[in-house]
Amino acid sequence: MKCLLVQPAFPIPNKSLNHKSFLPVGLLKVSTWLRRQEAEVELAVGCSMPSFEPDEIYITSLFTYWSSYVWDCVRFYRRSYPAAKIIVGGIYASLAPEHCLQSGCDEVHVGLHEQAEQCPPDYDLVETDFQILHASRGCVRRCAFCGTYRIEPEYTYKRTITSEIEKRHLVFYDNNLLANPHIKQLLTELRDFRLEKRVVTAECQSGFDGRLLTPELACLLKAARFRNPRIAWDGPVEEESEVRKQIQILTEAGYAAKDISVFMIFNHELPPGDLRHKAEACFHWGVQVADCRFRPLDCFSDGYKPQAKQQEPDEYYLYDVWTDEDVRAFRRLVRENNICLRYRIPRDRYSKQLEGLSGIERARMRRKLGLEDGTQRLTREQLDELNRMWIAEALERAM
């Protein structure tokens, strides 16, 4: 059996492909499952020809509003290999199976692939320096804007994950890691675990449920070397004191405020003024905002153009209390606030040039300071000097 695994050409920045923010982990698990049945497997991105003629083609899907990329792949591979069986799975397929079936595929797989879920990802198909893990599936919450509980209706969890660890950096894809009733045991194990006598680091891609966060858990997360903690503020401005308390718990556990991010859904039920208030509160606290533009789960396209100065209301989904101007103004506010926090400069010194500081520019600055080796550890004084030089040059260009 020859099987082709396909990751459609979703509009994901090149820097995020096969990165901690995006990896087709479902396909990688399917690969392991197929190879255990002695199948020959290849991974393709977008519409590209494999080295063999496949008997079966497995196409993954992401958000419903990216359905057109899935349909493009189905059409391409149907024309190229009319005898092959085409199966589509993933988020869009699970949330809208009837719509997905209209793409021309032979089968839509809804929910988790139970056999593949028992297999580790096949990292031979990609180049990564990290490992994806799930300590739980599903979520104990039922947020109206989220489809997790529809795809994974039951919250299941593991008691331990150390036997699965193969790499020194772990990225948890759990939707609600802290809800695991064995979370303290899991974090303690990670704190004490060594891979070839070296510690491992971790982060949780979906963030932590701040309502479940306690000082003890925050200290365990820090001890287990979890980086860049993220919480969410999806509710009204009246939750400000609660969110502030969650941030305080993290900072008292040893996390720097600028390394904490707050997920914030916009273009949704709360009016633009409330979102601006929330973003300004985060800036005052010194934490960054991860803005998440809302689209309904039954939205099968998205015409939003982030680089455009203006778009008509019917070009992409706008909630009834939001306008195109509101969306762009909020995104601009968040971007500027985050840049100022990242580089530790007053907001009145913000320049768009600061957003374009490339790795090449930073390497040049390092050479100016005599720091040729990019792997060496810098002192706080050296970091401060690099930061000062980057900002000074960027602001000079902007004037």
Query: Per-residue confidence at 64, pLDDT binned at 50, 70, 90?
Result: very high
Q: Does the domain made of 123-353 have the CATH classification 3.10.450? A: no
Mean of pLDDT over the chain:
89
For residues 304 and 316, the answer to whether their CB atoms sit within 8 Å is yes
* Segment 289-333, tens digit of pLDDT: 999 999 999 999 999 999 999 999 999 999 999 999 999 999 999
Matching residue, tokens 């459609």: 8
Average pLDDT over residues 255-269: 95
pLDDT of 17 above 50: no
Instruction: Give the residue, 63 or 399, on which the prediction is more confident.
Output: 63
Extents of the domains making up the chain: 2-116, 123-353, 355-398
CB of 250 within 8 A of CB of 215? Answer: no
CATH class of 2-116: alpha beta
| pLDDT value for 343 | 74
- Per-residue model confidence (pLDDT) at position 161: 94
pLDDT of residue 397: 59
Rounded-to-integer distance, Cα 162 and Cα 199, Å: 12
What global pTM score does this model have?
Answer: 0.84
Contact 272, 321 (CB under 8 A): yes
Length of the chain (residues): 399
Measured between alpha carbons, how far is residue 97 from residues 60, 88, 212 in Å?
13, 9, 33
Return the axis-axis angle of helices 272-285 and 240-252, rounded to nearest 10°: 30
pLDDT tens-digit series, residues 349-373: 777 766 665 556 655 655 555 555 4
Mean pLDDT (whole number) for 32-40: 97
Cα–Cα dist 46/66, whole Å = 13
DSSP string, 42-70: EEEESS---SS--SEEEE----GGGHHHH
CB atoms within 10 A of CB 82: 7
Is pLDDT at 277 greater than 70 in this prediction? yes
